[in-house]
Amino acid sequence: MNTATSAAAVLSGVKRFVGGQELEQHRQALIDRTDPNAPRILVCCGTGCKAVGSLDLLETMQNSVAASGAAIKVMPEVKRTGCHGFCSRGPLLTLQPEGLFYQRVKPEDAEEIVKQTVIGGELVKRLLYKPQGAKESIAKVGDIPFFAKQTKLVLKRVGRIDPFDINDSLVHGAYKALNKVLNEMSPDQVIEEIKNSKLRGRGGAGFPTGLKWESCSRQPGRHYVICNGDEGDPGAFMDASVMEGDPHAVLEGMAIAAYAMGSDRGFLYVRMEYPLAVQTLTRAIRQAEELGLIGDNILGTGFKFKVSVSTGAGAFVCGESSALMSSLEGKVGRPRPKYIRSTEKGFRDSPSNLNNVETYANVPEIILRGGAWYTGYGTERSAGTKVFSLTGNVHNVGLVEVPMGTSLREIVYGIGGGIPNKKELKAVQTGGPSGGCIPIPKKFLDINVGFGKLAEIGSMMGSGGMIVMDENICMVEVSRYFINFLVEESCGQCTPCREGLTRMKDILTRLTLGEGREGDVELLEEIGKFTNSFSLCGLGTSAANPVLSTIKYFREEYDAHIRDKKCPAGVCKPLYYYEIDPEKCTGCGLCRAKCPAKAVAGEKKKPHTIDQELCIKCMECYKNCKFDSIKIM
């Protein structure tokens, strides 16, 4: 069934809602029409799964279902959804109402799924998820630790609804909170509720959202409500998945904010590299406008709120609030030097409230269930949940939502499934490019992830990036990588950031090439200390964090690079070589076969050797050896 036509069919009978009651009646009619036990095939079409061909899967699935129509008792609805979160296993597919979970599904599998599962009621074993090292596969979503250990508040509809169909969102409760706010609450009550929830901004700084709304609402003049969907951190995609998977949650949150602050105009600033998010949001705005949920005279209450999507050209610094406002005004996206809050003078010098995507997406549920309910999740100082994008050397790469205060151990091992290839966990990097590296074996595996705790140990929450690093990650190279990113993304207007970071990059590059000198670490620390306190915007004042935190916790690795000209992790090519341990080598010949440079020699069943002249340090032998006999020297 084509979801677009089904939406059109239902919508054709509905004009604009002129009151809250009409909305609820329509919602009820939709719910009555949908049988919760009807079969449904949810195909994940988030950006990750799309990249590995889920749109083809969606199409073949629709065709296969249609082709076997006669044989199927109850026709399942094949639904296109946002990200399910388990991106490393894509394309993903869930069958409702049983909650069966198939992973790495190819278009060729569609017919078999229809025949065997939809018609025959049997599992396709090969497509089930099997945790690393386990003997048995797991069939149901609810039994998979990756999903079972999460708490989904923000992502509750993401992956379950069709983001292109407003009716599907309505069935799942969208705009209930807006209706409540417009008909039952005063703007001040809304702000009070948000304050009670202790919701803190999810964009990085963790500023209390209620306070921000309050101070903005008290300013005279026209107010603007702006959503920060710039998400420039490399590897982060939590905001993308919310915008792509549940656009109405963001719109509803913004509309509620607008009501609370007396605003009639909103903007969603989305990076251009998120075409799917731009598409879902634009469509969502149009559908909501048609129903009178956004735009003029919302739900017949006279409240007016117009929203539009504005695209940014993918500059990291445009996520910074004043740079974002400049960019939105059509100017160069550079942070403004003014010491004035955007809530006072932001977009077009008017009071503007800027929040992150996830912050707004939290709002509707807080309104419906109350601030006190929200504080039931998380910790005293950091309430609610946080979505992390878990990446790096961990089995289960994807999006995870957990209550604030969850331990790193739970996230990395419980949900992430641990470190592949029997490696040791070395560090966890949080907070995006200007976050810090948290050393694990030494102390911090059991710290509770919250705003305060992360800052205390020299990292930060940031927008929720979490990169897991095993023993083969070189901390000097990690620093160089992030500083290099920031040098490229700095706006270049202020001296410490522009010149300081460039110098730090030069020094770090030298270190990774084996050209380090005594005093380099001290110089890095000196530059880092002053860029962190003399820079103009948040980019510069946090840029040195990756360097400072790795120096603090992994100083010996810097020293090894400088004094011994060694890279203990085996990453910086000029600083290590591979050697085969003759005691351990069984002469199986696998490395010899794998080596692309023909640098490995040896007779069968006798210890092999590596010709250092020929070796290109591609790591093939190291990765493939089953006997752990290749050593990094």
Ligand X SMILES: Cc1cc2nc3c(=O)[nH]c(=O)nc-3n(C[C@H](O)[C@H](O)[C@H](O)COP(=O)(O)O)c2cc1C
Rounded distance between C-alpha atoms, residue 459 and residue 474, angstroms: 18
| CB closer to ligand SF4 out of 320 and 358 | 320
SS (H, E, C) 433-451: HHCEEEECCCCHHHCECCH
CB of 562 within 8 A of CB of 518?
yes
CB of 90 within 8 A of CB of 405?
no
Using the rule CB under 6 A, which residue among 152, 176, 202, 592 binds ligand X?
A: 202
Q: Does 268 bind ligand X (CB under 6 A)?
A: no
Q: Can you tell me which residue has the tokens 């403004």?
A: 336
Q: Does 403 bind ligand X (CB under 6 A)?
A: no
Structural tokens at position 424: 């040791």
Identity of the amino acid at 427: A
Q: Does 366 bind ligand X (CB under 6 A)?
A: no
Using the rule CB under 8 A, which residue among 58, 260, 536, 572 binds other proteins?
A: 536
Residue 85 near which of other proteins, ligand SF4, ligand X, none (CB within 5-8 Å, type-dependent): none
Using the rule CB under 6 A, which residue among 354, 390, 501, 575 binds ligand X?
A: 354
Rounded to the nearest 5°, which phi and psi values hold at 217?
-65, -25
Residues that bind ligand SF4 (CB under 6 A): 317, 335, 490-494, 497-498, 535-537, 539-540
Q: Residues 473 to 512: which contact other proteins by CB under 8 A? A: 487-496, 498-503
Residue 338 near which of other proteins, ligand X, ligand SF4, none (CB within 5-8 Å, type-dependent): other proteins
| Count of CB atoms situated within 10 Å of the CB of 420 | 12
Residue 125 CA to chain centroid, in angstroms? 30
C-beta of 281: minimal distance to ligand X in Å? 15
Structural tokens at position 200: 């803190």
| CB closer to ligand X out of 64 and 342 | 342
Rounded distance between C-alpha atoms, residue 198 and residue 217, angstroms: 18
Indicate the pairing of strand 223-229 with strand 352-356. Answer: parallel
Q: Does 275 bind other proteins (CB under 8 A)?
A: no
Q: Does 582 bind other proteins (CB under 8 A)?
A: no
SS (H, E, C) 172-202: CCCCHHHHHHHHHCCHHHHHHHHHHHCCECC
| CB closer to other proteins out of 300 and 492 | 492
**Run of H or E residues at 216:** helix 209-217
Structural tokens at position 188: 């001040």
Q: Does 204 bind ligand X (CB under 6 A)?
A: yes
C-beta of 512: minimal distance to ligand X in Å? 25
Q: Does 109 bind ligand X (CB under 6 A)?
A: no
Q: Does 439 bind ligand X (CB under 6 A)?
A: no
Using the rule CB under 6 A, which residue among 54, 321, 350, 629 binds ligand X?
A: 321
Q: Residues 50 to 109: which contact other proteins by CB under 8 A? A: none
CB of 394 within 8 A of CB of 420?
yes
Residues that bind ligand X (CB under 6 A): 201-205, 207, 228, 230-232, 316-317, 319-321, 354-356, 359, 463, 537-539
Residues that bind other proteins (CB under 8 A): 315, 332, 334, 337-339, 487-496, 498-503, 526-527, 530, 533-536
